[in-house]
Amino acid sequence: MKKQLYILQDILGTNRKIAQEIKAACEEKGVLVVNLMSSPGAGKTTLLEKLAERLKNRYKIAVIEGDIETERDAERIRAKGVPAWQITTGGACHLEAKMIARVLPSVEADIDFLFIENVGNLVCPASYELGERVRVVLLSSPEGDDKPKKYPKAFTTADVLVLSKADLLPLLPFDIDRAKKEALDLNPSLRIFVVSALTGEGLDSFIEFLVAAHAALRPADA
Amino acid sequence: MHELSIIAGLMETVEALAREHKAKEVTGIRIRVGALSGVVAELLDSAFDIYKKGTIAENAALEIVKVPFKIRCKACGAETERDDFQFACAACDSADLELVQGTELVLERIEMDSDEPEK
How do residues A174-209 score in pLDDT, each as one tens digit?
999 999 999 998 888 999 999 999 999 999 999 999
Q: pLDDT-derived band of residue A14, with 50, 70 and 90 as boundaries?
A: confident
Classify B28 as helix, strand or coil: strand
Interface test with A, best of B5, B17, B39 (most A CBs within 10 A): B5
- Which pLDDT score, from 0 to 100, does residue B35 have? 87
Which residues are A62's β-sheet partners?
A114
Q: Is A14 left (phi over 0), alpha (psi -120 to 50) or beta?
A: alpha
Instruction: Encode pLDDT of A153-169 as tens digits.
Output: 899 999 999 999 999 99
Classify B93 as helix, strand or coil: coil
Contacts of A186 (CB under 8 A, 6+ apart): A148, A149, A152, A155, A156, B85, B87
With 0-12 / 13-18 / 19 or more C-beta atoms within 10 angstroms meaning exposed / middle / buried, residue A199 is: exposed
Residue B17 neighbours by CB distance under 10 Å: 18
Chain B interface includes A189 (CB < 8 A): no
Confirm whether A188 is domain-assigned: yes
Chain B interface includes A15 (CB < 8 A): yes
The structural domains of chain B, with segments of one domain joined by +, span: 3-17+25-112
The whole-model pTM stands at 0.87
Round to whole Å and give the CA distance between A153 and B81. Answer: 17
Interface of B with A (CB under 8 A): 1-2, 5-6, 9-10, 12-13, 17, 21, 23, 27, 31, 36-39, 85-88, 95-97, 104-118
Chain B interface includes A129 (CB < 8 A): no
Query: Is the confidence metric ipTM above 0.90 for this complex?
Result: no
Q: What is the dihedral of CA A119, A140, A79, A85, to 10 degrees?
A: -20
Which CATH number belongs to the domain containing residue A86 in this structure?
Answer: 3.40.50.300
Candidates A1, A5, A13; nearest CB to B110: A5
- Which pLDDT score, from 0 to 100, does residue A109 have? 83
- Which pLDDT score, from 0 to 100, does residue A136 have? 98
- Which pLDDT score, from 0 to 100, does residue B118 have? 63
- Which pLDDT score, from 0 to 100, does residue A222 have? 44
Instruction: Mark out the alpha helices in B1-119 (DSSP H runs).
Output: 3-20, 41-51
Average model confidence (pLDDT) across chain A? 94
Higher pLDDT, A13 or A130: A130
Candidates B9, B85, B113; nearest CB to A12: B9
Q: Which residues of B touch A7 (CB under 8 A)?
A: 17, 107-110
Structural domain span for residue A101:
13-217
Per-residue CA distances from A32 to A136, A216, B112 (Å): 13, 9, 45
Confirm whether A1 is domain-assigned: no
Question: For chain A, what is the domain count?
Answer: 1
Round to whole Å and give the CA distance between A8 and A10. Answer: 7
Contact present, B85 and B70 (Cβ < 8 Å): no
Instruction: Encode pLDDT of A102-117 as tens digits.
Output: 999 999 889 999 999 9
Instruction: Encode pLDDT of B19-69 as tens digits.
Output: 999 999 999 999 999 988 888 888 999 999 999 999 999 999 999 999 988
Chain B interface includes A153 (CB < 8 A): yes
The residue in chain B having the minimum alpha-carbon distance to the alpha carbon of residue A127 is B38
Candidates B2, B27, B88; nearest CB to A93: B2
Amino acid at B116: E
CB-based contact B87 A186, cutoff 8 Å: yes
**Under CATH, which number does the domain B3-17+25-112 receive?**
3.30.2320.80
